[in-house]
Structure 1
Amino acid sequence: MHQDSPALTAGQERTAERRGLRKVGAASLVGTTIEYYDFFVYGTAAALVFPKIFFPGTSPAMGTIASFATFGVAFFARPIGSILFGHFGDKIGRKRTLVWTLLIMGLSTVLIGLFPGYETGVFGIFDNGIGIWAPILLVGMRFLQGLAMGGEWAGATLLAAEYAPKGERGRMAVYPQLGPACAFFLASATFFLASVTVGATSETFINYGWRLPFIASLLLVMVGLWIRLSVEETPVFKTHLQNKKLESEPVKLPFADAVRVQWKQIVLAGLAMSTLFAMFYIGSTFLTSYGTGTLEFSRTMILGFGIIAAVVLAIATAAAAILSDRIGRRKVIAGSYVIAFFWSLALFPLLDTGSPIAFLIGVTITLSLYGIANGPAGALLPEMFQSKFRYTGAGLSYNLGGIIGGAIPPILAAQIVAHYPSIWVGVLLAGLSAVSLICVWALPETNNNDLNDAPVDEALQP
C-alpha cells in the first residue's frame, strides 16, 4: 500500500532550498563562463595572432589596431542584443532566452576557429586563404558574439538574483559575475597549453594552434545547455506572468517601457559601468598585446601571468559581492573607482620598468579593481528595474557601459601606444574612472529593494 512520504523538517527544507540555490548558481556561472570564454579567446587571439592571420599586409602597429577594432565590433552589437533578447526574456522567460544566447555564442566561436585566414587555409582547405573575405567573416562572427553577450549577462544575473533570499542577492548574483574570472583562466590556460605544446612562435601555432581554444568551446556549450535546461524559470518571473494575466492594459514593448520610465537610470548606470569594462579589457586583452609587443615578453609567460591574475580576480569578485550585502552596492563600487583613478596613473610607469614581476602586479591589480566593481554590479542592476522590463533595462545599462569602456579604450590605447607615451593610456583610464565615480553616487542604493516591487521611476538621489 502506498504511503505518503513524511513531511520535511525545517532543517531538511533549508538544506533542499540551499541545494536548489546552488543549482541555480551553477547554471548562471557555467553559462556566463562559457559565454565569456568564447568572448575572451577572441580577445587573446586578437592580441597574439589575428594581426598576422587576418591583417597580414599591415604594419605590426596597424595590424594590432585593426585587430582590436574587430574586437570592438562586439561591444556595439551588445546593446542590440540586450534589446532583442531582453524583449524575449521579459516576455517568454529568462531560461528559454538564455538557451538561445548560449547557442549563438558557441556556434559563432567554433566557426571562427574553422575560418581560413587572409593568406592561410586550414585543414587543407583554401590553402592560399580567402583574401578580404577573411576579415569580413571575422567581423560577422564577432557581431554575433556581441549579440549573444548582450542578451546573456542580464539573463544570467536575473536567474541568480530573482532566486536569491532577501539580504543575500549580492552573494547569489556573484555566480554569473565569477564567469569572467573563470573564463579568463580557461582562455589563458588553453592558449598556454597550445603555446607550450606546439611552440609559442612556431608556424604550427600561427596556422593551427590558436584555433584549438575556439573549436574546444563546442564541448563547453554542450555542458552549459545540459545544466541550463535542468533549471526552472525564476519565481519572480512566474509571479510577473500571473500578474500580467490579471491586467487589462495593452501589451507594450519592454524596451519602450524601460526607456520611457527609467531612462535616467539606464544612462547613469551605463556610465557607471564603463570603468568596470575598461579595467577588464585593458587588464586582459590590451595588456596581453602590450606585454608581447611593446615589452617583448614571451607569449607563454604572459598567458601564465593571466592564469594567476584570474584566480585573484575571482577572489576579489566574490569578496566584494558578499560585502555589498552588508554595506551597500554603491560604496563598494565607488571604493573601487577611487582606487582605480590613482592606480591608472601609476600603471604604465610601473609596466615600462620592463620587469616581469611589475607586469604581473599590474595585470593582477587592474583586474582585481574590475572584480571589486563587477561583483556588486550583478545585484545592483537587476535591483534597479521593474520586473516587466528588468531583463531589458539591466542589459541595456550593462552593455552601454561595454561600448563606452570596453570598445573605445582598447582601440584608443593601441593608437596612443603607437604614437605617444604610454602614460596617456593611464590618463584616459583615470578620467573615465572619475566620470564613473560621479555616476555611481548619482544612483540610488538598491540592496534593500524587493524585486517583486521594484522601484518605479524613483528620484535619483543617494
Structure 2
Amino acid sequence: MTTNPTTSQAVAVSGPDARDQRRAYTASLIGSIVEFYDFAIYGTAASLVFGSIFFAGMSPAVGTIASLATFAAGYMARPLGGVIFGHFGDKVGRKSMLMITLIMMGTATMLIGLLPTSAQIGSLAPVLLVTLRLIQGIAVGGEWGGAVLMSVETGSQKSRGFFGSATGVGAAAGALLATGSFALLGFLEEDQFMSWGWRIPFLASATLIVIGAYIRLKVSESPVFKAAAEKAAEKKETTEERKQAPFVNLIRNHPKRLALAVGVYVGPVMAQSIIKIYVVSWATTNTDVSRGVILNALTASLAVMVVGVPLFAMLSDRIGRLKVYVPAAILFAIASFLIFPMIATGSTALVFLAFFMTMGVIESACLGPVGAILTEAFPTKIRYTGTSFAYQVSSMVGGGFGPVVAALLATTLGMGALPVSLMMGAFCVISAVSTLMLGESRKTDLNNV
C-alpha cells in the first residue's frame, strides 16, 4: 500500500457528526437495495422466464444461454457506467451522481416489466430487452462506487469496514427482495407466472425508487471529497491537472494498483453469480430439486447475508482486511467443488446447507470488507473512478460472463459441473493472491492516499 504522508501534511477535515454518518450509511444502504433489487430480478427472470418468452423460436437449452447472455450484457455495460459516473463523481461530487443512477435504474426496470414478448412483436422484443439491460448496467456501474464512497468517506477511520458494508448489505437485501418476490409468486400456475406473474417484481420497483430518492436527497456531500476540492483550490492546480480525466489518470499512473483491485473481487463475484443464476437453472433441469426449494434456499441464504455482511465488515475493522478476506476467498475456491454434488443429492437439507455455506457465510465474508478494501486503494481525486471501474470490471468478468461460460462448459464438454467448479475455484485463488499483493489497508488515511 502507498505510504501515507505524515499527519502534519494532511488537510484539516472536520469530522462528520453521528447524524451525518447515519444518513450517509442509510442513503447508501437504501439506494443499493433499490439498485441491486432491480439488477437481481433480471437475473432470476433470465434463468426462469426470459428464455421461453423472449427467445421463443430457440430450443430450451439455447434459449437459456441466450437469456443468460442478455444478463451478461448488463455486466458488460457496468465498467462504462463506472467510468462515466466516476468521472463526474470525482469532478463534481458523489451525491448528484447517485440520484441520477437511481432514477436511470428504476426507469429501465419498470420498462422491462412492461415489455411485449417475442410472440407479440417478434425480434424487436429481445432487442428492447437488451437495450434496457444495458441501461441497467450503466446505472449500477455508477451506483456502487458512489454509494460505497459516500458511506466510507463519511464514516470514521476505525469503522470504515462497517460503513463500506452498506452497499454489501444493500446488495444482499436487494437480492433477497428479488428472490423473495419470485418465491412469493409460487402460488401462481405455470401459465399465469409465465404470461404476467413475472412482471410484478419489475413493476414493484417504483415504490423502492421513491423511497430511495427521498432518503438520498437528505444526505450531505462526502467530507473527504469536499476537503480534496478545497485543497486543490488552495494549491491552484494547473489547468492541465484540473482537466485531466480521472480515468486517464488512473490508467497512466496506477495501472498495477488497478489490476490488483480488479483481481480482488473477480473470484467471489463469479462464484456467487454462478450460484444465484446458473445453479438455479442447472438444479431445476438436472436434478429432482424443485424450483421452489432452490429459490427458498437461496432466499434463506440471502437473509443470512444481510446479517453476515456487516458482521464480517466489523471484524475486518478489528483484525484487518486481509485476515478476513483472503481466507474467505480460499474457502470459496474449496466450496466450488462441493455445492454441485450437495445439490445433486436431491436432499432439501443439503441444498439449504450448500447455499448457507457459500452465500450465507463465505460470500458475506467477501462482500463485507470489499468496499473498504477498494476504497482504500485509490487517491481521492480518482477514487470514484478507480473504485467503480475495478469493481465493475470484476463484476463483468466474474458475474457477467461467469454464468454464461458455466452454461457453455457444462453443455459442451460433457463433464457435468466439474469444469464450472474448476473455473470458480481458479478465479477465487486469483482474488486471494491479488488481495495479498494489494496489502493491508485498514489504517490508511483517506485524505493522504
Q: TM-score range by the shorter chain?
A: over 0.9
RMSD (Å), alpha carbons: 1.4
> Unaligned stretches of 5+ in structure 2?
1-15
Larger mean CA deviation between 440-449 and 82-91 belongs to 440-449
- Aligned residues of 2:154 and 2:223 also touching (Cα < 8 A): yes
**2:129 matched to which residue of 1?**
138
- Distance, in Å, in 1 between the alignment partners of 2:400 and 2:183 is 25
**2:74 matched to which residue of 1?**
74
- The alpha-carbon deviation at position 418 of structure 1 amounts to 2.2
Match of 1:427 among 414, 422, 425: 422
What secondary structure, in the 3-state scheme, does the structure 2 residue paired with 1:90 have?
A: helix
Letter in 2 for 1:400: V
Shift of the 303–346 alpha-carbon distance from structure 1 to 2, 3 Å rule, reads closer
Matches within 5 A, 1:244-323: 244-246=232-234, 247-250=236-239, 251=242, 252-323=244-315
Match of 2:363 among 355, 361, 370: 370
- Provide, for residues 64-123 of structure 1, a one-character-per-residue CA deviation record: whole Å limited to 9, x for no partner: 11111110011111111000000110111100000001011110000000000111xxxx
- Aligned residues of 2:261 and 2:377 also touching (Cα < 8 A): no
- Provide, for residues 298-355 of structure 1, a one-character-per-residue CA deviation record: whole Å limited to 9, x for no partner: 3333222222111112222112101111221122110111111211122212222122
- The alpha-carbon deviation at position 57 of structure 1 amounts to 1.4
**1:50 matched to which residue of 2?**
50
**1:85 matched to which residue of 2?**
85
Letter in 2 for 1:182: A
**1:212 matched to which residue of 2?**
200
- Aligned residues of 1:336 and 1:372 also touching (Cα < 8 A): yes
Letter in 2 for 1:452: N
TM-score (norm 1): 0.90
- Aligned residues of 2:94 and 2:221 also touching (Cα < 8 A): yes
TM-score (norm 2): 0.92
Identity of aligned residues (%): 37
Please say if 1:160 is aligned against 2:151: yes
- The alpha-carbon deviation at position 229 of structure 1 amounts to 0.6
Which structure would you say has the larger RCO, counting Cα contacts within 8 Å and 6 or more residues apart?
A: 2
Match of 1:436 among 422, 431, 435: 431
**2:29 matched to which residue of 1?**
29
- Aligned residues of 1:184 and 1:306 also touching (Cα < 8 A): no
- The alpha-carbon deviation at position 417 of structure 1 amounts to 2.5
- Distance, in Å, in 2 between the alignment partners of 1:374 and 1:185 is 15
- Distance, in Å, in 2 between the alignment partners of 1:311 and 1:159 is 25
What secondary structure, in the 3-state scheme, does the structure 2 residue paired with 1:325 have?
A: helix
**1:241 matched to which residue of 2?**
229
What secondary structure, in the 3-state scheme, does the structure 2 residue paired with 1:384 have?
A: coil
- Distance, in Å, in 1 between the alignment partners of 2:377 and 2:402 is 27
- Distance, in Å, in 2 between the alignment partners of 1:286 and 1:399 is 20
- The alpha-carbon deviation at position 24 of structure 1 amounts to 1.5
What secondary structure, in the 3-state scheme, does the structure 1 residue paired with 2:286 have?
A: coil
Larger mean CA deviation between 135-144 and 432-441 belongs to 432-441
- Aligned residues of 1:277 and 1:405 also touching (Cα < 8 A): yes
Letter in 1 for 2:196: Y
Please say if 1:350 is aligned against 2:345: no
What secondary structure, in the 3-state scheme, does the structure 2 residue paired with 1:324 have?
A: helix
Q: How many residues align?
A: 427
- Aligned residues of 2:20 and 2:219 also touching (Cα < 8 A): no
Match of 2:446 among 444, 448, 451: 451
- Aligned residues of 2:20 and 2:154 also touching (Cα < 8 A): no
- The alpha-carbon deviation at position 444 of structure 1 amounts to 2.0
Match of 1:388 among 361, 381, 384: 381
- Distance, in Å, in 2 between the alignment partners of 1:391 and 1:315 is 27
- Distance, in Å, in 2 between the alignment partners of 1:314 and 1:28 is 14
**2:398 matched to which residue of 1?**
405
- Aligned residues of 1:45 and 1:210 also touching (Cα < 8 A): yes
- The alpha-carbon deviation at position 243 of structure 1 amounts to 1.6
- Aligned residues of 1:291 and 1:297 also touching (Cα < 8 A): yes
What secondary structure, in the 3-state scheme, does the structure 1 residue paired with 2:447 have?
A: helix
> Unaligned stretches of 5+ in structure 1?
1-15, 120-128, 455-462
- Distance, in Å, in 1 between the alignment partners of 2:151 and 2:69 is 33
What secondary structure, in the 3-state scheme, does the structure 2 residue paired with 1:49 have?
A: helix
- The alpha-carbon deviation at position 32 of structure 1 amounts to 0.5
What secondary structure, in the 3-state scheme, does the structure 2 residue paired with 1:452 have?
A: coil
